[in-house]
């Protein structure tokens, strides 16, 4: 951590990675996670040493031939309070320290760029906003917060990148997120850490961390030519969503422009925040939550659209927001080859939507 001497810390980390005690540290959170782990290990070792020493000393000092007659001790409040309060304090430090890290890992910064990851027996599929797809591999740039939105197509999986010290469950039917900022270029392991069937151990891959320039080049060379939002637009028309959602005042369905990030009121009077998860649910399970002022006429699309299709639809609906276009420009298009080269990154436009 910051309070330990940096030289000592570097030495320690070097030693631990050389002897494969910990994986390399390749994200901003990794050293912070390791500091907590080192603290916990030290406390355990010190505690173990004290207990082992006391047991040995007492067994020797009070053995039977030196103390044939047992002395009855009725207890000592001071002693008991001491060995309760000191460990309690130590555990509370770990608790608070751990919670701070936990909230940091699961609260992405507003300027994070989003990559979708779909898990299925037995592979990981990553979908970049520009339409780049990869299987069992994930390309990310250094120095840029990356949020992963995870979902599973079948059973529970868990997406883990040890070198980044992050891991998150991929759950069927629900989006989960995790974020990181890679610091060091290189290739790192990617695992599924939730037993998910016969070929679970083969559900592995690699994370390729590149400089922003190399990442840009990679995006350019692996583009499918159709971004997620463009693919979503196609689906939107081929599934005839526009028959009801055409934005006209007398349309049978609500106008979807600016719906992402807004607060809707349901017929029950309950307010809901429209995020990615809500959009996905609204398409699959429209009758579960009816927007006030509308009839429950939207058909369910359960089983008709793949997870990738849903992701595309969600991304398309997001682009219908006037302010999202700005946000998308600052988040992803600057990383895309065709994006204009801007001198300064502005994060001011990103406040409103989440």
Residues that bind Cu ion (CB under 5 A): 157, 192, 196, 203
196 binds, among Cu ion, ligand HEC, none (CB under 5 to 8 A by kind): Cu ion
From 94-102, 136-144, 242-250, 342-350, span contacting ligand HEC (CB under 6 A): 242-250
Long-range residue pairs from 34-42, CB within 8 A, at least 24 positions apart, any chain: 34/165, 35/1, 35/4, 35/9, 36/94, 36/97, 36/98, 36/101, 38/12, 39/1, 39/93, 39/94, 39/97, 40/94
**Which residues neighbour 23 within 8 Å (Cβ) at sequence distance 6 or greater?**
17, 162, 163, 188, 189
- Contact call for residue 279 and ligand HEC (CB under 6 A): yes
Nearer of residues 282 and 349 to ligand HEC, judged by Cβ: 282
**Any contact of residue 261 with ligand HEC (CB under 6 A)?**
no
Q: Which does 175 bind (CB under 5 to 8 A by kind): ligand HEC, Cu ion, none?
A: none
Exposed, middle or buried, 258 (CB in 10 Å: 0-12/13-18/19+)? middle
Where are the extended beta strands (E) located within the chain?
Answer: 113-120, 123-127, 133-135, 137-141, 145-152, 157-161, 166-170, 176-181, 186-192, 205-210, 263-265, 271-273
Q: What is the DSSP string of 278-335?
A: HHHHHHH-GGGSPBTTS-S-PPP-TTTS-HHHHHHHHHHHHHTSHHHHHHHHHHTGGG
Peptide bond into 122 cis (omega under 30): yes
Applying CB under 6 A, does 286 fall inside the site for ligand HEC?
A: yes
Piece of the chain touching ligand HEC by CB under 6 A; list 94-102, 103-111, 136-144, 281-289: 281-289
Toward ligand HEC, which CB reaches closer, 105 or 314?
314
State which of residues 26, 35, 126, 298 lies at the interface with ligand HEC (CB under 6 A): 298
320 touching ligand HEC, by CB under 6 A? no
Part of the chain binding ligand HEC (CB under 6 A), chosen from 41-49, 99-107, 223-231, 283-291: 283-291
Count the helix, strand and coil residues of the chain and give each as a percent rounded to the nearest 5: 40, 20, 40
Of positions 4, 42, 100, 243, contacts ligand HEC by CB under 6 A:
243
Q: Give the residue, chosen from 112, 196, 282, 349, that forms a contact with ligand HEC under the rule CB under 6 A.
A: 282
Closest residue by Cα to residue 1 from 104, 97, 144, 108: 97
Residue 192: name its binding partner from Cu ion, ligand HEC, none (Cβ under 5 to 8 Å by kind): Cu ion
Q: Applying CB under 6 A, which of residues 29, 313, 336, 349 lies at the interface with ligand HEC?
A: 313
Pick from 259, 311, 320, 349 the residue near ligand HEC by CB under 6 A: 259
Contact track, ligand HEC, 65-104, x by CB under 6 A: ----------------------------------------
Binding status of residue 228 toward ligand HEC by CB under 6 A: no
Look up residue 62 and give its two tokens: 């009070």
Coil, helix or strand for 245?
coil
Q: What residues make contact with ligand HEC under the rule CB under 6 A? A: 239-241, 243-245, 252-254, 256, 259, 264, 279, 282-283, 286, 290-291, 294-298, 301, 313, 317
């Amino acid at each position: 951590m910051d309070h330990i001497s940096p030289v000592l810390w570097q030495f320690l980390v070097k030693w631990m990675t050389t002897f494969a005690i910990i994986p390399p540290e390749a994200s901003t959170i990794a050293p912070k996670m390791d500091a907590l782990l080192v603290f916990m290990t030290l406390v355990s070792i010190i505690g173990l040493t004290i207990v082992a020493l006391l047991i040995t000393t007492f067994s020797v000092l009070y053995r039977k031939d030196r103390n044939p007659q047992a002395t009855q001790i009725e207890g000592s409040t001071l002693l008991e309070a001491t060995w309760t309060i000191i460990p309690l304090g130590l555990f509370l430090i770990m608790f608070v320290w751990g919670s701070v890290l936990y909230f940091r890992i699961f609260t992405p910064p507003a300027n994070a760029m989003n990559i979708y990851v779909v898990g299925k027996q037995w592979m990981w599929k990553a979908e970049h906003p520009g339409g780049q797809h990869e299987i069992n591999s994930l390309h990310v740039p250094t120095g840029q917060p990356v949020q992963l939105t995870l979902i599973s197509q079948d059973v529970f999986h868990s997406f883990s990148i040890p070198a980044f010290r992050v891991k998150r469950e991929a759950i069927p039917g629900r989006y989960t997120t995790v974020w990181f900022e890679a610091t060091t270029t290189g290739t790192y392991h990617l695992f599924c850490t939730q037993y998910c069937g016969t070929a679970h151990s083969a559900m592995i891959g690699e994370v390729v961390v590149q400089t922003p320039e190399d990442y840009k080049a990679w995006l350019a060379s692996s583009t499918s030519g159709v971004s997620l939002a463009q693919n979503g637009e196609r689906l939107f028309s081929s599934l005839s969503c526009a028959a009801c959602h055409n934005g006209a005042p007398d349309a049978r369905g609500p106008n979807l422009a600016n719906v992402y990030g807004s607060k809707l009121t349901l017929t029950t009077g309950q307010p809901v925040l429209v995020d990615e998860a809500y959009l996905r649910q609204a398409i699959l399970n429209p009758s579960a939550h009816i927007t006030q002022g509308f009839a429950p006429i939207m058909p369910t699309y359960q089983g008709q659209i793949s997870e990738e299709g849903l992701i595309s639809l969600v991304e398309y609906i997001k682009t219908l927001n006037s302010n999202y276009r700005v946000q998308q420009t600052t988040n992803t298009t600057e990383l895309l080859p065709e994006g204009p080269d801007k001198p300064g990154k502005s994060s001011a436009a990103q406040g409103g939507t989440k």
